[in-house]
């Protein structure tokens, strides 16, 4: 039996992972589950899966979960805080770690899993966006195995030759095409984006996701973060990663080879496919996904992204080109700006303004330690917060 820790079990990726695992109970067992503060949902998951451990982000939530599990007679040890997350990410009984905590909070436990040599199913892109060099070094030093869960990066992984780690040029890869749906505002008039509401931004046309990642999809910052992630995962430069708008979300990404071949991975827009792929690799197992019907799809469209419509995408390329802690600053400012937008404190179009001004104000440094990354992350959050205030949906400039 393969033991699995799921970091971020109550989110969409965590729930999808549990669904796939439930279809293969003879193969996998859940040894630990974690959540931020969703006690009720994690309690239900614990009662269903009966893990050895559960962990909450704070001790107050952990205590509430502990009391409920004790009353139910469930023998689950409940931990809390970063130390608790790191502990369940490095358990001897956990062969695989699904890293699905959203945002910067997932960095430390995911890095701990890398140092412990786990098979990491990486759905937390911030681990690479914030500290790509440190994280990839941790994977190498810990002899961990890294499998991307983002549908796009998993598609690229599937289209790559098995020895791509030798270098993309060495294995004949010329370019990566990273597909994007374009989100809910791909065709909306640019001069009306100022009035976008959180509900509209979270109404993704193809995928069911959490609120933060849904807004990132609407601004295409999610795709910008994925460009950065692709550069680290596949050891390439941003100019070799081309974003392509593909509104059907059927082609999940493509890889172009030196001989002119272009390989693509297609499938229904359901995260259980990449999850099942990473869980079973190099085998294939049932995921519960509805098979793709090409006759229903009928057509596949591809467009070049409009950088005027999606300035966040350009800012991500800029930060990756700049290097150092610039991508950590970008990510931190985006998290603050998106939270402010969801709270109704700033306009949708103010999100890139906060990010750009924070990148300009917080000077990027070379990454020589995790402390430097965390310091610049904190500085970026502080500056972004200073820009954000309730002022008719505008930024205080």
Three-class SS of the chain: CEEEEEECCCCHHHHHHHHHHHCCCCCEEEEEEEECCCHHHHHHHHHHHCCCEEEECCHHHHHHHHHHHHHCCCCCEEEEHHHHHHHHHCCCCCCEEEECCCCHHHHHHHHHHHHCCCEEEECCCHHHHHHHHHHHHHHHHHCCEEEECCHHHHHHHHHCCCCHHHCCCCCCEEEEEEEECCHHHCCCCHHHHHHCCHHHHCCCCCCCCCHHHHHHHHHCHHHHHHHHHHHHHCCCCHHHEEEEECCCCCEEEEEEECCCCEEEEECCCCCHHHHHHHHHCCCCCCCCCCCCCHHHHCCCCCECCCCCCCHHHHHHHHHHHHCCCHHHHHHHHHHHHHHHHHCCCCCHHHHHHHHHHHHHHCCCCCCCCHHHHHHHHHHHHHHHHHHECCCCCCECC
Three-point CA angle 199, 205, 208, nearest 5°: 75
pLDDT at residue 395 is higher than 60? no
pLDDT for the residue 268: 93
pLDDT at residue 331 is higher than 50? yes
Minimum mean pLDDT among 69-78, 178-187, 259-268: which range?
Answer: 178-187
| Mean pLDDT over each residue of the chain, to the nearest integer | 93
pLDDT for the residue 95: 98
pLDDT at residue 392 is higher than 80? no
pLDDT for the residue 394: 56
Mean pLDDT confidence for 90-95:
98
pLDDT tens, position by position, 113-167: 999 999 999 998 888 998 899 999 999 999 999 999 999 999 999 999 999 999 9
pLDDT at residue 391 is higher than 60? no
Give the whole-number percent of the chain exceeding pLDDT 70: 97
Q: Which domains, from first to last, does the chain contain?
A: 2-148 (3.40.50.720), 156-297 (no CATH), 323-387 (1.10.1740.10)
pLDDT at residue 397 is higher than 80? no
pLDDT tens, position by position, 184-221: 889 899 999 999 999 988 887 766 667 888 899 899 99
Mean pLDDT confidence for 286-298:
95
């Amino acid at each position: 039996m393969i033991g699995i820790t799921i970091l971020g079990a109550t989110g969409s990726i965590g729930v999808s992972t549990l669904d796939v695992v439930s279809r293969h109970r003879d193969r996998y067992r859940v040894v630990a589950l974690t959540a931020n503060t969703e006690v009720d949902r994690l309690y239900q998951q614990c009662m269903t899966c009966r893990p050895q451990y559960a962990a909450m982000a704070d001790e107050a939530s952990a205590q509430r979960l502990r009391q409920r599990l004790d009353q139910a007679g469930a023998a689950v040890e409940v931990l809390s805080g970063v130390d608790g997350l790191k502990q369940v990410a490095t358990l001897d009984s956990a062969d695989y770690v699904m890293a699905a905590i959203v945002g910067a909070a997932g960095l430390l436990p995911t890095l701990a899993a890398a140092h412990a040599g786990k098979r990491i199913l990486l759905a937390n892109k911030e681990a690479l966006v914030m500290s790509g060099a440190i994280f990839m070094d941790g994977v190498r030093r810990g002899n961990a195995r890294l499998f991307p869960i983002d549908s796009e990066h998993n598609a690229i992984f599937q289209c790559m030759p098995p020895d791509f780690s030798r270098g993309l040029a060495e294995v004949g890869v010329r370019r990566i095409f990273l597909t994007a749906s374009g989100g809910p505002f791909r065709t909306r008039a640019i001069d009306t984006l100022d009035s976008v509401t959180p509900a509209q931004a979270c109404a993704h046309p193809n995928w069911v996701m959490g609120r933060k990642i849904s807004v990132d999809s609407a601004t295409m910052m999610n795709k910008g973060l994925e460009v950065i992630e692709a550069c680290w995962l596949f050891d390439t430069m941003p100019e070799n990663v081309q974003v392509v708008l593909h509104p059907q979300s059927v082609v999940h990404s493509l890889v172009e080879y030196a001989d002119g071949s272009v390989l693509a991975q297609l499938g229904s827009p359901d995260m259980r496919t990449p999850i099942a792929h990473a869980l079973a690799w190099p085998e294939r197992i049932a995921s519960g996904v509805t098979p793709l019907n090409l006759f229903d799809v009928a057509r596949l469209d591809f467009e070049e992204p409009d950088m005027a419509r999606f300035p966040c995408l350009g800012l991500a390329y800029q930060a990756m080109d700049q290097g150092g802690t610039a991508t950590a600053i970008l990510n931190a400012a985006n998290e603050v700006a998106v939270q402010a937008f969801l709270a109704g404190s700033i306009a949708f179009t103010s999100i890139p303004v906060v990010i750009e001004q924070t990148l300009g104000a917080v000077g990027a440094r070379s990454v020589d330690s995790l402390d430097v990354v965390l310091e610049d992350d904190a500085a970026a959050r502080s500056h972004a917060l200073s820009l954000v205030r309730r002022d008719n949906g505008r930024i205080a400039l």
